[in-house]
Amino acid sequence: MGPVWTSSARQSGHRTEGTETSSGSAMFTHTKRLQFEAKPEQPDPVFARKLQELIGGAWGETTVTMQYLFQGWNCRIEGKYKDLIMDIATEEIGHVEMLATMVARLLEGAPATETTRAVQDPVMAAVIGGMDPQQAIVGGGGATLSDSQGVPWNGRYIVASGNLLADFRANVAAEAQGRLQTARLYNMTDDPGVKDMLKFNLARDTYHQNLWLAAIEELKADGVEGTVAPNALLDEEHTEHATSLWNLSEGDESTQGRWAHGTAPDGSHQMGIIPEPRPLGGPADAPAPDPKLFATYDGSKGSPRDPRLTGVKGMVGKLKEGFSD
């Protein structure tokens, strides 16, 4: 079975199943088959609500879809890394499609009238057993772009920094959290059809975690990135603070780990312990406030500083100074 969604990001000039890669072709094409079957044995509107977490939750499939798309679109290295990111991004679109289809099928025959009344009647909401009213009112008996509590998906969930090492590590975390939530949902249903789809999702999340871990090692092997992200300013930072665990807990259990002894994973530092850290800075006292901001103040810090010119006028002044030099 071919992929449900196909990206034509590789502009190689040849055709593959389901896509054209000639100049001017569509970025994505859609094959009218699911990536994996999403057919429950019977409707279950309560579980449909739970499954929303894998669609619109912070660690859901929409998050990784958009995270990988923006990482791929912003990738500055053409070739294997960009193609890899776009491969997985495109696959994740198919995962959203599978889950949305499963939610719609789980909602088949759901009591829409009672669901609408539940918005205003908490007792009725309890009677219908925890269904999500928005799936009926907003989604028309289908999935919505929200989590299991009806909270809308947020673009701030994604990580796409432009630094592949930092991003790939974020991808490992996203796949791990996504697989964790999928595993929990797997144990919340007895429906064989739902469990079969979730088994597929679990397997793909297993591969994706290994994939991003392998890609991190590849970045280092290719000399593109190091171990620490970003691989920069290592000589300019306060290097005396780059090697030691500050033991800020009672006892010394935290000092017994690999992170407190021997050579650091970057191979450039020897890790150690500061058993009783002491403050390195002065008192954490705020300056006198601007009286126009009406902060409670007793005058003990004297008068506030004269306000500095900031914003557009301040920028104009700086530009004028630059032109006059």
Known binding residues are: 61, 83, 87, 92, 95, 175, 208, 247, 249, 251
Cα angle for residues 314, 318, 320 (degrees, 5° grid):
115
For residue 274, the SS3 value is strand
Measure CA of the first residue to CA of the last residue in the chain; give whole Å. Answer: 67
Q: Which of 131, 158, 156 is nearest to 66 (CA)?
A: 158
Distance of alpha carbon 245 from alpha carbon 258, whole angstroms: 11
Using CA atoms, how far apart are residues 58 and 71, in angstroms rounded to an integer? Answer: 17
Which helix (H) or strand (E) element contains residue 245? strand 244-246
Q: Which positions make up the binding site for Ca(2+)?
A: 83, 87, 247, 249, 251
Q: What is the CA radius of gyration of the chain?
A: 27
- Cα 7 to chain centroid distance, Å, stands at 21
Contact between 60 and 53 (Cβ < 8 Å): yes
3-state SS of the chain: helix, strand, coil percent to 5? Answer: 45, 5, 45
In which element (H, E) is residue 165 found?
helix 164-186
Do β-strands 15-16 and 19-20 pair in parallel, antiparallel, or remain unpaired?
antiparallel
- Smallest CA-to-CA distance from 96 within 16, 204, 186 is with 204
Length of the chain: 325
Q: Are 178 and 64 in contact (CB under 8 A)?
A: yes
| Residue numbering of the annotated binding site for Mn(2+) | 61, 92, 95, 175, 208
**30 has which bridge partners?**
5
Distance (Å, whole) CA 119 – CA 147: 17
Pairing of β 244-246 and β 262-263: unpaired
